[in-house]
Amino acid sequence: MISTSEMRVLEVNSQFLGVPTRLLMENAGRAVAAEISNRIDVRHKEVVIFVGHGGKGGDGLVTARFLAGEGAKVKVVLTGEVKHPDAAENLRIIEDMDFSIDIENVWDYEPREYAVAVDALLGTGLKAAPKEPLKTAIRLFNETRAYKVSIDLPSGMDPDSGMTFGDYVVPNLVIALHDVKGGVTGNFDVVKVNIGIPPEASIYVGPGDVLETIKPRSMKSKKGDFGRVLVIGGNQTFSGAPTLASLGALRTGADLVYTASPEETAKTISTYSPDLISIKLTGKELSPSNVGELTPWIERVDAIVLGPGLGVSENVREACELILEELRKREKPAVIDADALKVLRGRSMYKKVVVTPHAGEFKIFFGKESGEGRERIVKASEAAKERECVLLLKGYFDVITDGERFKLNKSGNPGMAVGGTGDVLTGIVAALMARKIEPFKAAYVGAFINGVAGSLAHAKLGDHLTASDLVSHIPEAIRDPLTSASVRPYRRVLG
């Protein structure tokens, strides 16, 4: 079964892969007509199809065309303006089929006996009781004496909960498109048909995942609603890594980002941007004595980043172990990256942790090679399950897994193989987790956004991009992921 949200993701991702919604509609109508013809000989028989305003109406119009091609006498009942652009194109075809298909307005329709009646009225977008003329259309459909077929789900039924909103269609058969919607149950037969959605639409992260995960802010939003992030990183030498992670989090939409670093490093970070809140830790590097200073900030925020630019001294190792235990006790969403992976090698994590190693860090942290090609998926899944964490294994294609599920990401380009792009990714993932997005989803959506931002930068700068260039393109990658993701210089990574 599938939810409406998951279905919307697949439709957008299919479009990104080159399978337009018009083609999915064509496949849906053809499949519905074939399923009907397999059950009932429609030749020289009368068929009526009730058509709504949206995409489901378009599926019904395509069904009408194919059933007419099978020799059926088809009547299309319209409920007003067809608003979906693909459906409107199919209506124009039907209007020219004036020899084989009759068109009637719902207000003129009188119920009688047909061989088949097809419900193409209301789809997955319904969230309230149907209004006129759809309310009347549902009643007239139910009064029609026929073998009744609903496309995808009975009109008037919520696809996720199965709730009905007053008037709803009572079919004999539901023909589910791609998969059965989670709430569609009742005293009717259900069959699912293939409409041509590629498997890669669910295997690879795509723009649909971004659109369904990151929603616009409401007018009533206030500071803090979209999360606070604490970045713990930096030492005497490295101030750029925690800064890039922090800026990545801010550009992704975190309301507040605190960057905790040793005192002199924190002063340097403060000069990079007035948007960063710099926390000055005592000492020249992170040490166990800093954990008490950090605890109030850990309590205050919604997600933590641990690792960028910390170094790998014994002080850092002891401090990271103590911080990890503090995070575990509070079950704080956290991204552990870079130097923290090196000093915490062999340690078990917890389910709200995302670790983000490249191949070298994977070997250090997990004590094994990450493998090549498809083997990386198996190795990564085993490692994530063993350590009870979400793993984002970076590479020429990213593997994201929680040990049970996996997603692949191939956004990005080789020009991103420069210092700091992984730190930006870490900040993006942390910002998404701070918005209460589950770690697995935050990790794979974050990987896609990071890669798309990199591709936008690459389109302008070629192989001369820097990590800072990615930061500036994050908003564009989120705002219009479908258009932005089409800027991809490198595509095939497997096979």
State the amino acid at position 15 in one-letter form: Q
What 3-state class would DSSP assign to 18? coil
**Residue 56 annotated as binding site:** no
What is the side-by-side strand order in the sheet with 101-105? Answer: 101-105, 73-78, 46-51, 113-120, 145-151, 173-177, 189-193
**Residue 484 annotated as binding site:** no
Give, in order, the Cα–Cα distances in Å from 326 to each of 167, 307, 320, 322, 334. Answer: 54, 15, 10, 6, 11
Rounded CA gap, 66 and 193, in Å? Answer: 16
**Residue 458 annotated as binding site:** no
Q: How many CB atoms lie within 10 A of CB 447?
A: 28
**Residue 370 annotated as binding site:** no
Rounded CA gap, 386 and 402, in Å? Answer: 10
**Residue 129 annotated as binding site:** yes
**Residue 52 annotated as binding site:** no
SS (H, E, C) 285-344: CCCHHHHHHHHHHHHHCCEEEECCCCCCCHHHHHHHHHHHHHHHHHCCCEEECCHHHHHC
**Residue 146 annotated as binding site:** no
**Residue 126 annotated as binding site:** yes
**Residue 64 annotated as binding site:** no
CB neighbour list of residue 2: distance below 8 Å, 6 or more residues apart: 10, 178, 179, 180, 181, 182
Alpha helices in 358-438 (DSSP H): 359-366, 375-387, 421-434
**Residue 128 annotated as binding site:** yes
Decide the pairing of beta strands 390-393 and 398-401.
antiparallel
Q: How far is CA 30 from the centre of its chain?
A: 28
Give, in order, the Cα–Cα distances in Å from 42 to each of 109, 117, 173. Answer: 21, 11, 16
The first and second tokens of residue 150, run together, are: 């609903």
**Residue 469 annotated as binding site:** no
CB 305 within 8 A of CB 232: yes
**Residue 44 annotated as binding site:** no
**Residue 125 annotated as binding site:** yes
CB neighbour list of residue 26: distance below 8 Å, 6 or more residues apart: 62
**Residue 119 annotated as binding site:** yes
Q: How many CB atoms lie within 10 A of CB 158?
A: 20
**Residue 246 annotated as binding site:** no
Rounded CA gap, 321 and 255, in Å? Answer: 28
Binding residues for AMP: 422
Q: Indicate the annotated binding residues for K(+).
A: 119, 155
Instruction: List residues forming the annotated binding site.
Output: 119, 123-129, 152, 155, 241, 309, 358, 422-423
Q: Annotated binding site for (6S)-NADPHX: which residue ranges?
A: 123-129, 152, 241, 309, 358, 423
